[in-house]
Amino acid sequence: MRQNAEKSGPKKPATMRDVARHAGVSVATVSRALDGSSLVTEETALVVRRAVAKLNFVPNISARTLKYGQSHAIGVIVPDLTNPFFSEFLREFEALASANGQVVLLANAEASVGGALTSVRQLLMRLVDGVVVLPSLDELEPYQLLTLRKVPTVAIDSRRTGPCFSDVSLMHEEGMRQAIGYLKDLGHRKIAFIGGSSGLMISKLRLDAFQASLKMHGITVRHEYVRYGNYRADGGDRELRNLMLLADRPTAVIGVNDLTALGALRAARTLNISVPNEISIVGFDGIELDDLVSPSLTTMSVSRKLIAQSCHGALEEMRVGRNGLGRQLYIPVELIVRQSTGRPLRKMTKSR
């Protein structure tokens, strides 16, 4: 029994020759059918696909990449996989890529030039057909490694375009105008901002949008009300505590992203500061978690699905058309009002 089991052990993986033999066609026909060549009739292609399924044949992607110069792989560089915004984007983007016969290679890089350069080099070694970078750094050096090799690249919030380089930017200014206008209508005039890490274009864009919106609505920009977090909950928690130590405390706080705002919400709860009665809190991004916390978070929401569609579409345009030229795309921002905002109390006192 043991000898029979050994003789009938694991079968070798099927080859392209096996598929050709099973389908009754040449190896060249199998190759063309797998490439979707118009030289192969739909009837023959169907026979080949059935043979592939029957034999559990898996094409050698590395060999095909070297032969045709296309890997059908797209690299995505993200700075923090623990941030729900990025995981929600990846879910939408991967669905689009899969529907187009592409795979997504993920590179988790810290938000620095060094981290981005390492991720770019890793993706280049895998001969990716394109790269999405989110969010964008101030420095262009990591992206130049891609564009010099004519690898289509899409960045989030770089506000730059060029050969093989497109940009998908969120309309931060629009979102901030909505949020500040809403808070002003509620009666708020002391509005603080907890920003993000330095070196990221998005940090500058959202801070600039906040300050410009205050001025547009006739509200004084107070430098002591501008703090700097790290796009994570602990940064929002820390800076809300610092704001509450001011003699003249703000009545409303806007976080650079939702995790920052959720951290501020946690700090307020720990300090027994009522939200929204004593402090109103607003986020930015619109992650799914916002509606699950109590009080639910008012936020400036952006569609991850629309961002994914814009990034994928821009990559395809540069790959097959427009002579490799990139373009600028914008994503609208919508204020979603929930329970974390309300009218301010007449008198705010410093917490003990």
Residue whose entry in the numeric block shows the structure tokens 């118009």: 38
Same domain flag for 44 and 135: no
Distances (CA, A) of 172 to 182, 185, 332: 15, 20, 8
Same domain flag for 160 and 105: yes
Residue 6 lies in a domain: no
CA angle 228/300/257 to nearest 5° reads 30
Same domain flag for 185 and 284: yes
Same domain flag for 256 and 313: no
Q: What is the pTM of this model?
A: 0.80
Helices (H), 161-200: 172-186
Residue 26 lies in a domain: yes
- Report residue 282: phi and psi, to 5°: -125, 140
Average pLDDT for residues 6-32, to the nearest whole number?
A: 79
Residue 64 lies in a domain: no
Q: 306 near 278, Cβ under 8 Å? A: no
Strand order from edge to edge, sheet including 252-255: 226-228, 191-195, 252-255, 280-285, 298-301, 334-336
Same domain flag for 152 and 226: no
Q: pLDDT digit string (tens) for 64-113?
A: 554 445 678 999 999 888 899 999 999 999 999 999 889 999 988 766 66
CA angle 114/65/62 to nearest 5° reads 80
Same domain flag for 178 and 273: yes
Cis peptide before 135 (omega within 30 of 0): yes
The parent domain of residue 51 ranges over 16-59
Same domain flag for 270 and 162: no
Residues 6+ apart with CB under 8 A from 147: 153, 162, 163, 164, 165
Same domain flag for 78 and 181: no
Residue 65 lies in a domain: no
Residue 191 lies in a domain: yes
Same domain flag for 155 and 145: yes
Residue 2 lies in a domain: no
Look up residue 303 and give its two tokens: 């569609």
Same domain flag for 92 and 27: no
Same domain flag for 95 and 189: no
Higher per-residue pLDDT: 51 or 190: 190
Q: How confident is the model at residue 49 (pLDDT cuts 50, 70, 90)?
A: confident
Beta strands in 115-251 (DSSP E): 130-133, 153-156, 165-170, 191-195, 226-228
Beta strands in 147-293 (DSSP E): 153-156, 165-170, 191-195, 226-228, 252-255, 280-285
Residue 256 lies in a domain: yes
Lowest-confidence region among 74-88, 129-143, 262-276, 295-309 = 129-143
pLDDT for position 237: 98
In whole angstroms, give the CA distance from residue 51 to residue 60: 16
Distances (CA, A) of 193 to 179, 187, 211, 283: 12, 17, 9, 10
Q: pLDDT digit string (tens) for 286-316?
A: 999 999 999 999 999 999 999 999 999 999 9
CATH number, domain at 80?
Answer: 3.40.50.2300
Examine the pLDDT at 350 and tell me if it is beyond 80: no
Count of structural domains, the chain: 3
Higher per-residue pLDDT: 141 or 74: 74
Residue 11 lies in a domain: no
| Pairing between β-strand 298-301 and β-strand 280-285 as defined by DSSP bridges | parallel
Same domain flag for 132 and 225: no
